[in-house]
Structure formats: C-alpha cells, structure tokens
Amino acid sequence: MANKDPIRVGILFSESGATSTIGLSQLQGALLAVDEINDTGGIDGRELQPVHYDPESNPARYADLTERLIHRDGVNVIFGCYMSSSRKAVIPIIEKWNKLLFYPTLYEGFEYSANVIYTGAAPNQNSVQLAEFITSNFGARVYLIGSDYIYPYESNRIMGELVLQRQGSEKLAECYVPLDATERDFADVMLDIRNKRPDFIFSTVVGDSTAALYRAYADAGFDPKTMPIASLTTSEAEISQMDRGLAAGHYTSAPYFQSIDSDANRHCLANLRRRFGDSCVPNLCWEASYFQMHIFANAMRHAGNDDILTLMPYILGSEFDAPQGRVKIDPTNHHTCLYPRIGRVNSDGQFTIVRQARRSVYPDPYLVTHSLGDWAARLDTLDKLEC
Ligand code: ACM
C-alpha cells in the first residue's frame, strides 16, 4: 500500500525578539505554501506537517531548536532563519547530521554549504545594483550604519568597496547600534551625519529598530531628495512599524516588492489575504519563504523521500514561477537566480519600482564579478523605468 504518512518539516522563524515582524511574515509565507500544497493533494497524497518553534531572534535558541527538530521531531528538512547570526548557529548542526536548511533571506554572501539552499539575494543581486543606482543619482560619499552583528559588518564592507570604485567617492563613517536600538541610540549618529553631509546613508540596520532610525532621520530634518537612506533590509514589514509617510522617498534594493504588477503576484497576495487576513505584511523574505517551500515540494514529488542525498539532485537546477518571476536554483552554488529591483518608498508605505531586471541574474555569492564596471556590462538586462 502507498505510504500516506505525513511528511514533517521543521520551521524556525522568530515571532518574538528583535526581528519578529519580518520573522512572522516568513512563517506566514511558509505556511501559505504548505496550505497550497496540502490543498492540492500534498506530496502524492502525503500531507506536509509543519513543526514550528519560535527561536525568539536568538542564535543560541536557533541552535537548540535545530537539535530538537532533528532528534526529537525526526525532521530532515528545516526552513528558517533571518539574521545571519542565526544561520551561522544552525549550519554546523545541519552539516553534522547531514540535514537540509532552506534559508530565505538576503545575506552577505561569501558562503557555501552543501547542506543549505539559499533563496534570498546574494550581494551581486542587490548591493551591486543599489550602489550603481544610488551613486549615479545622488553621489558616492557614503555614511554606513548598521546593527551590531555579522551581516551589517560584511554588507557594509561590500557596499564600501563598491562605492569606492566611483569617482569622488568617500567612506565617511561606519557605525553600529545595538539590535534593540531606540531613537536615542541614533542621536549622535544624526549629529555626525549633519557634520559630514554624505550623499547617501547606507543602512544595514535590521528588524524592529529600523523604525527608530527613520524617525531619528526625520526628526533631524533631513531630506530624502538630497540624502536618502538606501537599504537592503528596510522592507514593507519594517515600514509597517513606522508612522505613515516616515520612510517616503528612501530606497531599498530587493528582488520582490508587494507592488509588483503581475498575475502571479496578485494571485499569491489574494491567497495570503484569504488565509491570514490583513495581519501579514508581504516582503522580500516572505516571498522567498513562500516559493522555497514549493521548490522543496516539487523536488519531493520526484525524489519520493526527504533524505538530503535523494532530494538534492531534484532541487538543484529546479525552477518555479514565483511572485517576483521565474526563479531557478543554481546547481553549482546552491543560491537562486533572482530579479534585482530598486524601489522608492511612497506615501502609502509601498514601493514604487524605479528599476528592475528584465531577466533573472545568476547568483555570484563570492562576487567574482565584483566591480560596478563589471555590472555595467550587464546593464542592458536592466529595464530603466523611472529615476
Ligand atoms: C541578515 O542578517 N542576513 C539580514
């Protein structure tokens, strides 16, 4: 008789702590995809059964819960993590027991694990485009500010190097605030920005403290038309925690924005509203969390079981019609072909897309093609809509 046992999958997204808003959206993206898969017969009649814990935005909790999912819950595949510090805590355990992690978040790159599938943007799919766009439109004197952990250090290093390829560039400062920073933590930074007068601020601040940065900027009386904040981590989720209009005029580079005008996106958002009402704030990490579950399910249909050795050949090279466009897992580096976009926040807290790639851009997590000049050779793939 055919096996009708449910297939357990582990889910580790934070519903509490510093990155709870974006973590909750990632959880909802994963659960939406699970519902869609189960509503259409599961995996050959077998239901996906999510086992979810809240790691509280705490890397040590991520590590403990990974052990628990593997040893107590008998899970082979885990979907999870936002902060790179949590991914770094999970990977050694995943590798030790030869399990599989799907990671749906933009990150700093310069990493490969045979046990991880990376579905968020690598730096050549967001930082390079943001550097090119912002320095062309505003200038190349940058002020770097981030949260105090590994992703901001590395992402700021990459942005600093990209910007320094421009004429007249200058790295004016690089500073860090605690993960739970409040507006007071940004007071001295704003004074320093007033003195140094950068062309733009690059923010690698993450999570709930993002709202405090934009509030401090507005209270300082700065103008995004002449000195915008450019970011990879300020999404619709962080903007939803701000007063209306606070982030208007600032820029984010991401493969997905809620405002993408396509049938696939509209259909997915309608399903989301039916399942979760208006409580979910779709964003780049929500979308990656959603489509990676479908990539897993499609591979499972071919593989028949979720052991990494059996499953991986069906994941690598696989494609899916995601809300951002058709994505593909690169078989050589386990990252994903994605569509770089630049969005400017409008007064509704949504993004007006001012530039987008016409074709997906392959992932190059080690930035082998590293310079803005290299990117310019590929600018023909970018569709300039508005600047
Ligand atoms: C991140 O920590 N990868 C946003």
Q: Do 247 and 374 sit in the same domain of this protein?
A: yes
The span from the CA of 328 to the CA of 333, in Å, is 12
pLDDT beyond 50 at 380: no
What was the pLDDT predicted at 3? 83
The span from the CA of 344 to the CA of 130, in Å, is 11
| Token couple for 14 | 């934070």
Q: Do 73 and 153 sit in the same domain of this protein?
A: no
DSSP summary character for residue 379: G
Q: Do 368 and 234 sit in the same domain of this protein?
A: yes
Residue 196 lies in a domain: yes
Percent of the chain residues topping a pLDDT of 90: 92
pLDDT digits (tens, 9 = 90+) for 45-86: 999 999 999 999 999 999 999 999 999 999 999 999 999 999
Report CA(27)–ligand 1 centroid distance (Å): 16
Task: Note the helical H segments in the chain.
Answer: 20-39, 59-71, 84-96, 127-138, 150-163, 187-196, 210-219, 236-239, 263-276, 284-303, 308-315, 372-376
| Token couple for 259 | 């405002």
Residue 387 lies in a domain: no
Question: In 3-state terms, what secondary structure has residue 125?
Answer: helix
Provide the pLDDT confidence category of residue 297 given band limits of 50, 70 and 90. very high
Residue 48 lies in a domain: yes
Residue 2 lies in a domain: no
The span from the CA of 311 to the CA of 175, in Å, is 43
Q: What's the mean pLDDT in 3-29?
A: 96
Provide the pLDDT confidence category of residue 387 given band limits of 50, 70 and 90. very low
pLDDT digits (tens, 9 = 90+) for 238-291: 999 999 999 999 999 999 999 999 999 999 999 999 999 988 999 999 999 999
- Beta-sheet pairing, 100-103 with 116-118: parallel
Q: Do 144 and 231 sit in the same domain of this protein?
A: yes
Q: Determine phi and psi for 102, rounding to 5 degrees.
A: -100, 125
DSSP track, 321-377 = EETTEEEEE-TTTS-EEB--EEEEE-TTS-EEEEEEESS-B---TT-SS-SHHHHHT
Report CA(164)–ligand 1 centroid distance (Å): 23
| Token couple for 316 | 């690598």
**Into how many domains does the chain fold?**
2
Q: Do 164 and 237 sit in the same domain of this protein?
A: yes
Q: 95: buried, middle or exposed (CB in 10 Å: 19+, 13-18, 0-12)?
A: middle
What was the pLDDT predicted at 356? 93
pLDDT beyond 50 at 379: no
Report CA(111)–ligand 1 centroid distance (Å): 13
Residue 244 lies in a domain: yes
Q: Do 166 and 202 sit in the same domain of this protein?
A: yes
As for ligand 1, residues whose beta carbon falls within 6 Å of it are 83-84, 105-107, 151, 206, 233
Domain with 147 in it = 124-259+340-381
Report CA(232)–ligand 1 centroid distance (Å): 9
Sequence-ordered list of residues with C-beta below 8 angstroms from that of 121, at least 6 positions apart, any chain? 106, 232, 254, 255, 284, 338, 340
Ligand 1 atom closest to the Cα of residue 85 is: 2
Report CA(85)–ligand 1 centroid distance (Å): 8
Provide the pLDDT confidence category of residue 342 given band limits of 50, 70 and 90. very high
What was the pLDDT predicted at 162? 94
Report CA(80)–ligand 1 centroid distance (Å): 12
The span from the CA of 327 to the CA of 75, in Å, is 26
Residue 307 lies in a domain: yes
Ligand 1 atom closest to the Cα of residue 204 is: 4
Distances (CA, A) of 105 to 82, 87, 118, 151: 6, 10, 8, 11
Atom 3 (ligand 1): residue with closest C-alpha?
107
Over the Cα atoms of the chain, what is R_g?
Answer: 20
Sequence-ordered list of residues with C-beta below 8 angstroms from that of 330, at least 6 positions apart, any chain? 316, 336, 337, 362, 363
Atom 4 (ligand 1): residue with closest C-alpha?
83
Q: What's the mean pLDDT in 363-373?
A: 76
What was the pLDDT predicted at 100? 99
Q: Bigger pLDDT: 303 or 380? A: 303
Q: Do 233 and 272 sit in the same domain of this protein?
A: no
Ligand 1 atom closest to the Cα of residue 106 is: 3
Q: Do 245 and 374 sit in the same domain of this protein?
A: yes
Report CA(108)–ligand 1 centroid distance (Å): 7
Q: How far is Cα of residue 195 from the mean position of the Cα atoms in its chain?
A: 32
What was the pLDDT predicted at 19? 97
Atom 1 (ligand 1): residue with closest C-alpha?
83
Ligand 1 atom closest to the Cα of residue 152 is: 2
Q: Do 197 and 65 sit in the same domain of this protein?
A: no
What was the pLDDT predicted at 2? 76
Sequence-ordered list of residues with C-beta below 8 angstroms from that of 353, at least 6 positions apart, any chain? 257, 259, 260, 341, 342, 343, 385
Q: Do 307 and 371 sit in the same domain of this protein?
A: no
Tell me which of 147, 153, 202, 233 to substitute to probe ligand 1's pocket, judged by most ligand atoms within 8 Å of the beta carbon. 233
Q: Do 79 and 130 sit in the same domain of this protein?
A: no
Residue 322 lies in a domain: yes
What was the pLDDT predicted at 373? 46
| Average pLDDT over all residues of the chain | 94
Q: Do 117 and 189 sit in the same domain of this protein?
A: no
DSSP track, 273-304 = HHHHTT-----HHHHHHHHHHHHHHHHHHHHS
Q: Determine phi and psi for 283, rounding to 5 degrees.
A: -160, 180
Provide the pLDDT confidence category of residue 372 given band limits of 50, 70 and 90. low
- What CATH number does residue 48 fall under? 3.40.50.2300
Residue 110 lies in a domain: yes
Ligand 1 atom closest to the Cα of residue 151 is: 2
